[in-house]
């Protein structure tokens, strides 16, 4: 992902697959965390996208350098885009991947966990 032009379209597509009042739980990368803690990544402030490179290996162990583009969000942006896409936010909390809880939003955890209901 290198831009945000598909965010609303994707969320609207998800909403169409849910029944009214269906629940969506989605994690999104925390823009504040990215700026504060990812010194090796380049953060595009205007687009809200973090860019970094990493090495991957194929089955034979050969290394290839690849680009990683990660869309990053603030709680405000998440509330706005979910509203436009036809969702009501139930909660947004700060989380570690795989360790989901209802922690208060902060700059110290890498993801936001959004719980939303379709309208």
Q: Is the pTM above the cut of 0.75? A: yes
- Domain 7-39+74-118: CATH class, spelled out: alpha beta
- Which pLDDT tens digit goes with each residue over 46-85? 989 999 999 999 999 999 999 999 999 999 999 999 999 9
The 3 state secondary structure assigned to the chain is CCCCCCHHHHHHHHHHHCCCCCEEEEEEEEHHHHHHHCCCCEEECCCCEEEEEEEEECCCCCEEEEEEEEEEECHHHHHHHHHHCCEEEEEEEEEECCEEEEECCCCCCCEEEEEEEEC
């Amino acid at each position: 992902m290198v831009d945000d032009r598909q965010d609303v379209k994707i969320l609207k597509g998800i909403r169409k697959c849910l029944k009214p009042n269906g629940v969506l739980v989605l994690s999104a990368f925390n823009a504040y965390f990215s700026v504060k803690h990812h010194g090796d990544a380049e953060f595009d402030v205007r687009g809200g996208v973090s860019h970094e490179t990493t090495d991957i290996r194929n089955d034979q162990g050969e290394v290839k350098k690849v680009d990683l583009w990660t869309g990053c969000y603030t709680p405000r942006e998440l509330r706005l885009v979910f509203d436009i896409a036809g969702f009501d936010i139930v909660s947004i909390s700060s989380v570690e991947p795989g360790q989901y809880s209802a922690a208060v939003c902060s700059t110290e955890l890498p993801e936001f966990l959004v719980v939303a209901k379709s309208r």
